[in-house]
Structure 1
C-alpha cells in the first residue's frame, strides 16, 4: 500500500488539531515538530487500519447494492 499523503493545507490543519488535543486533553504544549512527527506516526502506522476498514465497508456496501439489482429483473414467463 502506498503511504498516505496529505495536502499541505490538510497537514497544517492536522498538526494544529494534534497540538490543540495535547493542550486541552493532556495539558501539554507541544511544538509543530512534535505534532508533525506524531502525525507521521499516525499516518504511517495507524491510518492503514482505518483505510482498510473503509475498503471492507465499501466492498460490503457495493455487494449489497449489486444483490439489489436482481430485484429489478422482469418476469420472463415464456
Structure 2
C-alpha cells in the first residue's frame, strides 16, 4: 500500500481536531507542530487499519448491490415452454 497522504488543508483540519481533543478531554494544550506530528503518526501507524476497513465496507456494499441486481435480472426472465 502506498503512503497515506493528505492535502495541507486536510492535515490542518485534523491537527485542529487533535488540539481540541487534547484541550477538552485531557485538559492539555498542545501546539500545532505537536498536533501535526500526532496526525502523521496515526496516518503512518494506523492509517492502514482505517483504509482496510473502508475497503471491506465498500466490498460489502458492492456485494449487496450486485446481489440485488442479480435478483432483479432473474425477475425479468420470461417463462419458456420445454415442449
Q: After TM superposition, is the score higher than 0.5?
A: yes
* Residue in structure 1 matched with residue 57 of structure 2 by the alignment: 57
State the TM-score, normalized to the length of structure 2: 0.84
Are positions 1:75 and 2:57 aligned together? no
Give the number of the structure whose alpha-carbon radius of gyration is greater.
2
State the TM-score, normalized to the length of structure 1: 0.89
Are positions 1:2 and 2:5 aligned together? no
Moved >6 Å (runs of 4+): none
Gaps of 5+ in 1: none
Instruction: Work out the number of aligned pairs and report it.
Output: 78
User: What is the distance in 1 between the residues matched to 2:26 and 2:78?
Assistant: 64
* Residue in structure 2 matched with residue 21 of structure 1 by the alignment: 21
User: What is the distance in 1 between the residues matched to 2:29 and 2:36?
Assistant: 14
RMSD: 1.2
* Residue in structure 2 matched with residue 46 of structure 1 by the alignment: 46
